[in-house]
A and B are shown apart, each in its own frame.
Chain A
Amino acid sequence: MAQDFDADVIVVGSGAVGSNAAYELARQGKSVILLEAGPSVPRWKILMNFRNSGRHYDHNDPYPNNPWAPTSYQPGYLQNTGSFEMMPGMLKLVGGTTWHWGGATWRYIPNDFKLNSLYGKGRDWPIGYDDLEPYYTRAEYQLGISGGDGEDQSGTHKGQAYPRRSKPYPINAEKFTYNAQKMHDALGTQDYAMCTEPTVRIHKPWDGRPACEGNNNCDQVCPIGTLYNGSIHADKAVRAGARLITEAVVTRIEVGDGKKVRSVSYMTPEGKETKLTAKVFVLAAHSFETAKLMMMNEVGNSSDMVGRNLMDHIGIGMDLMAGEDAMWSGRGPVQQLTIMNWRDGDFRKEHSANKTALANGNPQISLAEAAINEGLMGKELDARIMRDSARYQFVYSFLEMLPSPANRIQPNPAWKDSLGNPGIKIHFDVDDYVKAGAVVAREMYQDMAKRMGGTIAKIHGFENHDHLMGTLIMGADAKDSVVNHEGRSWDHDNLFVASVGVIPAAGVVNPTLTAVALAIRSADVIAKEV
């Protein structure tokens, strides 16, 4: 007797990754239910929340923080036990955490997929660059990305376009900001491998999104909808026939015959539970939340790798007072000029790679606060604010963390949300590979400051950058990984994971595009099976 299902596919999580999977499946004629723990909130409300708050340093602040679906900054929700305080920004609403991000959408380079084979460190991917390239292209056209076709993004292929691309970027690269151009000129192309950051913050209209006006507010909320976020594909999925259910906190996963997942259950804010069945399930609820959900239900964890191998692009940064007096951070893109001197090479046998970039966020309130705390007033205060605002530049580096099972997240039953679901316990230590890489980055900072005729005001210690890879690690062996190259659970044929959490080798580039490409690839696999 044929079994009835509520949908062909249920996708848990409406962020950029889950929504792209849902859209691809709906577009290919599958019935899809998309579950989201948070609400759907229109942009104007988020923007007004931002403008009417004094808490602009808290990038989660304008977004819903509900007792049943808290953001990561809800006190107690994330509890750290390691030497490093891992506190990523995490949102719960339709569209997910891409509501606030820099918009960087890099591809990994071929050597990133073979880290262990080439350099004897970390893990290899179970697939190579060529396997993923067509999906990178599809993801870039879905997200609408601006980038430089002719540029070397590896730092090792000077004068060539690299990595290989089967299609040009949908939108060309924009001009450098004034301060980026000044930095580019001061550093010089002889010694510095520089390129433009590929971005979903577009300088030409695309797919209904307007060209960027340079609001310099990507990390909080784009006021005009230029910057891509996952809600765009949640909406597209609905228009293609998917059913979106908001404020649906998935808490249970039920496994039936043949180790197949039979159902998921979600709770409403009032605690009412609803069970839904499907042929296939895709977990795309953020790399922390997905791992927590799987562990809460003892699903897909025969390897004991769920929640382990947490990798972020732990990084350092530099406050630089440039010699040039018209640099003025805060004009236009929040990120753009990128330095790839240390992205790839034999040095990866010894220390972490790094990606270093100029951050262009508006620093003025922080600079003014420091001057006021110093006791400056009147004309002296105004002069200091203007002097520092004109010169201040923030340079930051991502470092390449290696996967370690000891770096992990777990459900934390000592903290519960309003529905009784646990918080998240994190244990994270920065490894020696990263520490050695930071030494190299600091040396580069000294050289950069000298070439720019500036002075280093401060070098910041290790900070997280919200790129939470490894917790759902992909591999070639069921004994030491969570999913295979398709994103399919080794333990349950009809369970897929779509998340940056599947990435097994972190490299040094922002991982969202790779996760979307993998999700589209998984959707193609699923579409052939249901």
Chain B
Amino acid sequence: MGTAAVVAVASGPVLPVGAHAAGAAATDVADLQKMAHLVTGKQVDQALAERAGSAITENHPGFPAALAKLQDFAASNNITDVEMLKDAPGFEGDLKDTAKLLIGALYLGYSGTPKALSSVDDVKFVTYTQALTFQLTHPYTPIPSYSRWGTGYWAERPGRI
């Protein structure tokens, strides 16, 4: 079973009625990708969005349903981008927590809560090089283990390469 199927199956039975009424249920991959775009303001690769959704759902089985509510909230309030969303009245509590789960998975490259000094925790891998944090910073620092910048580059003043 692929990751998309995991999300779809998990989310199917718990969709709120209102989601259908708004015509935007978070039941498929396309919606997950759109929601990733909505909460980050960035174009997110479809496979990456799927991975994020799947990883979050492993630790939070209610995530697909919660994401559907967030999508419904956005549709109902004509919210089309993250800058509108973050300041929207009513965007708080579970709605905001759901957005933070997706933002975290995409910016950090993992979902879950790290536990230091232990080989066991609930962290699930999403991505490494595509983590949105590194997409922002990689003009200034190499993604660790991926440097092709040449010996001694570190003595120079950091700048966009």
Given the contacts A372-B104, A377-B85, A362 and B144 also touching, CB distance less than 8 Å: yes
A355 at the interface (CB under 8 A from B): no
How many chain B residues sit at the interface, stated as a range, is 35 or more
CB <8 Å contact, A73 and B118: yes
Residue of B nearest to A377 (CB): B86
Q: Does B136 contact A (CB under 8 A)?
A: yes
Stretch at the interface among A46-54, A398-406, A479-487, A502-510: A46-54
Nearest residue, chain B, Cβ from A223: B145
**Which A residues between 151 and 198 are near B, CB-CB below 8 angstroms?**
174-178, 181
Query: Considering only CB atoms, which chain A residue lies closest to B140 in the complex?
Result: A328
> If the complex has contacts A47-B145, A87-B117, are A378 and B133 also in contact, measured as CB distance less than 8 A?
no
> Within the complex, which residue of A53, A212, A365 is in contact with B151, where a contact is CB–CB below 8 Å?
A212
* In the complex, A461 has a CB within 8 A of chain B: no
Q: Are B86 and A380 neighbours in the complex by a CB distance under 8 Å?
A: yes
A301 interfacial by beta-carbon distance below 8 Å:
no
Among B100, B114, B144, B154, which residue has its beta carbon within 8 angstroms of that of A217?
B144
**Main SS class of interface, B:** loop
Instruction: Say if the beta carbon of B108 comes within 8 Å of chain A.
Output: yes
Q: With A58-B116, A213-B148 in contact, is A331–B82 under 8 Å at CB?
A: no
B37 to A: closest C-beta gap in Å:
11
Number of interface residues of A (CB under 8 A): 63
With A54-B126, A369-B104, A378-B83 in contact, is A213–B149 under 8 Å at CB? yes
Specify the chain A residue showing the minimal Cβ separation from B134: A364
Does A319 reach chain B (CB closer than 8 Å)? no
B119–A216 touching, CB < 8 Å: no
User: CA–CA, A214 to B161, complex, Å?
Assistant: 15
The listed residue (B133, B144, B155) touching A385 by CB distance below 8 A is B133
| Interface positions of A from 343 to 372, Cβ below 8 Å from B | 362, 364-365, 368-369, 372
State whether A364 and B142 are in contact (beta carbons under 8 Å apart), knowing that A178-B154, A214-B147, A378-B86 are contacts in the complex. Answer: no
Q: In whole angstroms, how far apart are the Cα atoms of A390 and B128 in the complex?
A: 21
Query: CA separation between A471 and B110, bound complex, in Å?
Result: 38
B150 and A372 within 8 A (CB): no
How far is A211 from B152 in the complex, measured between Cα atoms in Å? 10
Question: Is A61 an interface residue when CB atoms closer than 8 A count as contact?
Answer: yes
A372-B136 Cα distance, complex, nearest whole Å: 15
With A55-B110, A203-B152 already in contact, the answer to whether A215 and B99 are too (CB < 8 A) is: no
Question: What residue of chain A has the Cβ atom nearest to residue B126's Cβ?
Answer: A54
Q: Which parts of A33-71 form the interface with B (CB within 8 Å)?
A: 47, 50-58, 60-61, 65, 71
Contact A178 B158 (CB under 8 A): yes
**Which among A75, A178, A203, A220 is the interface contact of B145 at CB below 8 angstroms?**
A220
**CB contact under 8 A between A331 and B144, given known A57-B114, A60-B119, A378-B82:** no
Q: Interface digits, A328-342 against B, CB 8 Å rule (1 contact, 0 not)?
A: 111111000000000
A436 within 8 A of B: no
In the complex, besides A216-B147, A333-B154, 7 extra interface pairs with C-beta distance below 8 angstroms are A54-B112, A54-B125, A58-B117, A214-B152, A373-B100, A382-B136, A386-B137
The 7 closest A-B pairs by CB, nearest first: A54-B110, A332-B154, A378-B82, A330-B141, A54-B125, A328-B158, A175-B155
15 pairs, A vs B, C-beta closer than 8 Å: A52-B125, A54-B112, A55-B114, A58-B116, A58-B118, A74-B119, A213-B150, A331-B141, A331-B142, A331-B154, A364-B133, A368-B133, A385-B136, A385-B137, A390-B158
